[in-house]
């Protein structure tokens, strides 16, 4: 980081934006294996928040990798950089007063913790979408698990690259044998219970 830069505090700040939006901002960080349902559930949560009149933005792994992070591969180092960039972008969205939903495998605890450390206390809400790998493989529409098992994809989380489960997530959703809508409602209930919305 350059020592020649300083954070510039503008007159219109997060407090003003949250007041205008009539809700608090935060980062809902959806993590879990590929096929666990992160993007589906995050999308449903955003739809429900939109119906409630809340300002949101959903950052999805594939979408971000098609743009800002298209220069990154899937080595451990590139995955770490992927999450670092997403964390910094998410922090700006939260400062903008937006309820930000980030749906990324984010397999390493240390990287998720580094994003949490960027945020003020209470801004980072870790949402663990917990589904057995066997269930994830059955849901896999792109056939990625099979390609990984056949050795056609390297560094695939859950096959030849580890996934470190959250030890104490704010929200733990077991997404196996339950309708995605029910899990999304649990996230909305958490936000209401903790006065974000």
Residue 61 assigned to a binding site: no
> How far lies 196's CA from each of 46, 56, 124, 125, 181, in Å?
14, 12, 12, 11, 20
CA diameter of the chain: 56
Three-state secondary structure call for residue 117: helix
Residue 33 assigned to a binding site: yes
Name the residue with tokens 């997530």: 169
Residue 35 assigned to a binding site: yes
Residue 38 assigned to a binding site: yes
Residue 26, beta-bridge partner list: 99
Residue 67 assigned to a binding site: no
Annotated catalytic residue 106: yes
Please identify which of the residues 90, 106, 110, 161 carries the catalytic annotation: 106
Residue 90 assigned to a binding site: no
Q: Is the dihedral of CA 77, 165, 91, 4 positive or negative?
A: negative
Residue 48 assigned to a binding site: no
Q: Which residues are annotated as a binding site for ATP?
A: 32-39
Active site residues: 106
């Amino acid at each position: 980081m350059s020592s020649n830069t300083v954070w510039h505090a503008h007159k219109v700040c997060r407090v003003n934006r949250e007041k205008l939006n009539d809700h608090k901002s935060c980062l809902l960080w959806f993590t879990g294996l590929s096929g666990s349902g992160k993007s589906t559930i995050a999308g449903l949560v955003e739809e429900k928040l939109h119906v409630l009149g809340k300002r949101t933005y959903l950052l999805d792994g594939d979408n971000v990798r098609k743009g800002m992070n298209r220069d990154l591969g899937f080595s451990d180092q590139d995955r770490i950089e992927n999450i670092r960039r997403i964390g910094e972008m998410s922090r700006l969205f939260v400062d903008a007063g937006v309820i930000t939903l980030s749906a990324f495998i984010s397999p390493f605890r240390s990287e998720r913790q580094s994003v949490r450390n960027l945020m003020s206390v209470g801004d980072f809400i870790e949402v663990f979408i917990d589904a057995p790998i066997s269930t994830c493989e059955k849901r896999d529409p792109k056939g990625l698990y099979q390609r990984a098992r056949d050795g056609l994809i390297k560094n695939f989380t859950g096959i030849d690259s580890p996934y470190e489960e959250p030890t104490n997530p704010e929200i733990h959703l077991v997404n196996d044998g339950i309708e995605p809508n029910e899990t999304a409602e649990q996230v909305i209930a958490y936000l209401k219970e903790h006065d974000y919305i």
